[in-house]
Amino acid sequence: MPHNILYLICSLLRPFICCFSSCHKTQESLLSSSSGYKNYRGIFNWCVVMLVLSNARLFLENLLKYGVLVDPVQVVSLFLKNPYSWPAACLVIVSNVFILVALYTERQLSKGSFSELVGFLFHCINLTIMLTFPAAVVLMVPSLTPGKMCFMGVIILSLHMHSLQQRQIPVRFYYKLWFFPTGPSEQHLNGGDRKVCYPGNLTIRDMYYFVFAPTVCYELNFPRSAKVRMSFLLRRLFEMVREDEYWMIPIIQSSMKPLEVPNHLIWLIFFYWFFHSSMNFTAELLCFGDRQFYKDWWNSETVTYFWQNWNIPVHKWCLRHFYKPMLRRGFSKIVSQSAVFFLSAFFHEYLVSVPLRMFRLWAFMAMMAQLPLAWFVGRFLRGDYGNAAVWMSLIIGQPIAVLMYVHDYYVLHYRQEVE
């Protein structure tokens, strides 16, 4: 009996005695995919530190070898001497005409001076000229060699203008049908949060705000941030300038030998520079509230997820002005999706072929190849393997497409000289 009582006491006390407290418990390692652990912010920081350190080493080596290479005077003179920075300047001036024509058309439509058909025709002509005029000039005048950036600007502006026109149609429709209160065009709602009503948005100020805002989807009232945070602005500016100095200039200078710099790394740095630093800088300057310029495409486990998340402004445009209207007109999902890829492929080809004056369809085919690739990855690979496949297609796919153009460009322009 006393033995049993002792046993009971011991059993009850066991968990509270330090020598029986276990320091092990059943659990998985964090790096095992079954652990479900995902926080790798430190690995991202590691990549940044490695980049900065290798940069610093390169910078020091160059400094010791050649002295100061990248001085501000040289940067300015690069843009002044550069033969293809002037067509870009001309294009910037010309593009104002397109913006003003679009604004004029919308104003006339709002007053009822233009009929819907006339307005539509004005917009169509405006868009067509916007897209074909620079291409025509480049193809007709062989001495002009504008960069890829010019055409990217043209395409982005045309997306802006199309979104504006599409967006005004239902707004105008409801405005005229329901006799919206016009009154003062700027209402004060929710204590100081300025809201613009329909015809009040058709001002030069609102128009240029939309053009410079880091989005291509038009809205009457964008979400706004309260004020410009100077520290945030300066950090983004520092990142932009640093990446510019260290990466963009060497890339521009060595643009004739693109295989010497790893293409994939350039793309990653370009992504960070453009989608994080530059867009956040612009947004902060304009008090533009929506900073979702990309989602977590680095985790994408399917090709589709990657294309839906790496470039959110263009993805939103495609969704709102192309994919959803197609669905509404009764097309199936798969047809609409293929059509989006087709449009994207067309613009990618436009972006590469026109500046190079060389129509090879490699960019077009690379984009269209995403469709079977997406099917394959989505069908056969999952989780980390899917993610690895997406990375592989990025790491290997892009350089191959670039290599194709470099090869063809070389054959076209230098073969005779060699022979």
| Active site positions, annotated | 348
Smallest distance, its own copies to C-beta of residue 278, A: 11
CB atoms within 10 A of CB 135: 16
Q: Which stretch binds its own copies (CB under 8 A): 76-84, 100-108, 252-260, 385-393?
A: 385-393
- Measured from the CB atom, the residue of 116 and 384 that comes closer to its own copies is 384
Among 395, 403, 404, 406, binds its own copies (CB under 8 A): 395
Smallest distance, its own copies to C-beta of residue 144, A: 36
Kindly state the tokens that stand for 68: 């100061």
- Measured from the CB atom, the residue of 128 and 292 that comes closer to its own copies is 292
Q: Could you say whether residue 28 binds its own copies (CB under 8 A)?
A: yes
| Window 329 to 368, contacts with its own copies (CB under 8 A) | none
Q: Chain-centre distance of CA 94, in angstroms? A: 24
| Window 176 to 215, contacts with its own copies (CB under 8 A) | 178-181, 215
Asked if residues 387 and 300 have their Cβ atoms less than 8 Å apart, the reply is yes
CB atoms within 10 A of CB 152: 15
Among 12, 31, 93, 418, binds its own copies (CB under 8 A): 31
Among 12, 15, 16, 42, binds its own copies (CB under 8 A): 42
| Window 250 to 309, contacts with its own copies (CB under 8 A) | 272, 276, 279-280, 289-300
Report the distance separating Cα 290 and Cα 304, nearest Å.
Answer: 23
Report the distance separating Cα 170 and Cα 358, nearest Å.
Answer: 41
Q: φ and ψ at 195, to 5 degrees?
A: -115, 140
Kindly state the tokens that stand for 288: 């533009």
Among 1, 23, 73, 93, binds its own copies (CB under 8 A): 23
Ranges of beta strands (E only) in 97-239 are 186-189, 193-196
| Window 48 to 67, contacts with its own copies (CB under 8 A) | 48-50, 53
Residues 6+ away with beta carbon under 8 Å from 117: none
Q: Which stretch binds its own copies (CB under 8 A): 119-127, 138-146, 167-175, 253-261?
A: 167-175
Q: φ and ψ at 311, to 5 degrees?
A: -130, 85
**For 414, which DSSP code?**
H
Kindly state the tokens that stand for 84: 């293809």
What are the beta bridge partners of residue 41?
none
- Measured from the CB atom, the residue of 105 and 393 that comes closer to its own copies is 393
Q: Which stretch binds its own copies (CB under 8 A): 59-67, 147-155, 220-228, 404-412?
A: 220-228
Report the distance separating Cα 396 and Cα 102, nearest Å.
Answer: 41
Among 16, 38, 66, 256, binds its own copies (CB under 8 A): 38
# of chain residues touching its own copies (CB under 8 A): 74
Among 5, 41, 117, 227, binds its own copies (CB under 8 A): 41
Among 5, 12, 15, 22, binds its own copies (CB under 8 A): 22
SS3 of residue 223 by DSSP: coil
* Residue 67 Rama label (left phi>0; alpha psi -120 to 50; beta): left
Smallest distance, its own copies to C-beta of residue 342, A: 23
